[in-house]
Amino acid sequence: MLLAIDIGNTMTDFGFFLTDEKPLFYRIKSRRDLSFEEVKTSFELFLKAQEIKAFDVDKAIISSVVPALTKIYQDLCVELFRIEAKILGPKLKTGVKVNTDNPKEVGADMIAATAGAKAKYGPCCIVVDYGTANKVFLVDKDGAFAGCAIGAGLGLQTNSLSSSAALLPEVSPQIPAKILGKNTFDSMNSALTYGNAFASMGLADAMEKEAGYPCKRILTGGFSSYVARLFDGYIYDPRLLLEGLRIIYERNEK
């Protein structure tokens, strides 16, 4: 069984890929103050609930944008499963060409998502990834990562509004019935949900025009569930990044 770990700024996602069964998924917060023992205990409880034995997991791969947490999950793989996890980075063959000014700047999360999109849906894709940051990027006609737009994500925007504006309350992103808000909560949520969705779809349209050819549209990411029903015509694939990690692992095993 392969364990894929995606360490993001807000959440850490886990995918357990079994040979002949549906994958299992699990998620916890990416707290910088998490201790090894806390992570281990949480993991052991999940494994027990799912009736997964430690020796069932014999392969692991990690994608991380939080270096402080990478070592904890490397150590977890060694202690619980007695395996060395592969780390997504320059030493791994990803199958993803990066056509940017400085390829090293491109986060491991976008590389993994590109690998997943390319393998599952082919080239000519625009991926909208809602995580800590909103990311919109192009997988071009050659299957390469061709560039992106990055902005503050739903969680950051929500927290920033309530913490920076004294008279605005805390809200949890929810799609209101109408765009035209009639109260503070609906007005804030209108901008958070409709505003983000329209901006992302507008960016995708502009990228497609700039690319010069039609592209499939994919929505993914931990915060994508809040706005998924607004993305008409998009493929909703919230596990795209974990699937990409699985594909990258298999490429390197070959």
Query: What is the token pair recorded at 173?
Result: 């992103």
Give the chain's end-to-end CA distance (angstroms, integer): 16
- Dump pLDDT digits (tens) for 148-167: 999 999 888 988 887 787 77
pLDDT of residue 166: 75
Report helix angle 36-49 to 67-76, nearest 10.
50
Indicate yes or no: pTM above 0.75.
yes
Q: Report the chain's mean pLDDT, rounded to a whole number.
A: 92
Cα distance between residue 225 and residue 174, in whole Å: 10
> Would the CATH topology of 2-87 be identical to that of 103-245?
yes
Give the C-alpha separation, 91 to 73, whole Å: 18
Q: Are 131 and 221 in contact (CB under 8 A)?
A: yes
- What is the pLDDT confidence band of residue 172, given thresholds at 50, 70 and 90? confident
The two tokens of residue 145 are 């990562």
The CATH number of the domain covering residues in 103-245:
3.30.420.40
Q: What is the pLDDT of residues 2-60, one digit of tens each?
A: 999 999 988 999 999 987 678 899 888 898 888 899 989 988 898 899 888 888 899 99
pLDDT band of residue 123 (cuts 50, 70, 90) is very high
Which residues, 6+ apart, have CB-to-CB distance to 163 below 8 Å?
none
Rounded average pLDDT over 66-70: 91
- Mean predicted confidence (pLDDT) in 77-94: 93
Residue 36 has, within 13 A of its CA and on its CB side, a CA count of: 11
Averaged pLDDT, 190-199 = 96
User: What percent of the chain clears pLDDT 90, i.e. is strictly above it?
Assistant: 74
Element (H, E) at 200: helix 196-211
With cut-offs at 50, 70 and 90, classify the pLDDT of residue 198.
Answer: very high
Distances (CA, A) of 225 to 43, 161, 197, 237: 24, 21, 12, 10
**Residue ranges of domains in the chain:** 2-87, 103-245
- Residue 20 falls in the annotated catalytic set: no
Where helices occur in 60-189 by DSSP H, the ranges are 67-76, 108-121, 154-164, 184-189
Least confident stretch, 71-85, 143-157, 160-174: 160-174
- How confident is the model at residue 216, as a pLDDT? 98
The pLDDT of residue 243: 95
Q: Which of 109, 129, 140, 237 is catalytic?
A: 109
3-state SS record for 202-238: HHHHHHHHHHCCCCEEEEECCCHHHCHHHCCCCEECC
Phi first, then psi: what are they for 212, rounded to 5°?
90, 15
Helix axes 240-253, 108-121, angle to 10 degrees: 80
* Domain covering 2-87 in this structure, CATH number: 3.30.420.40
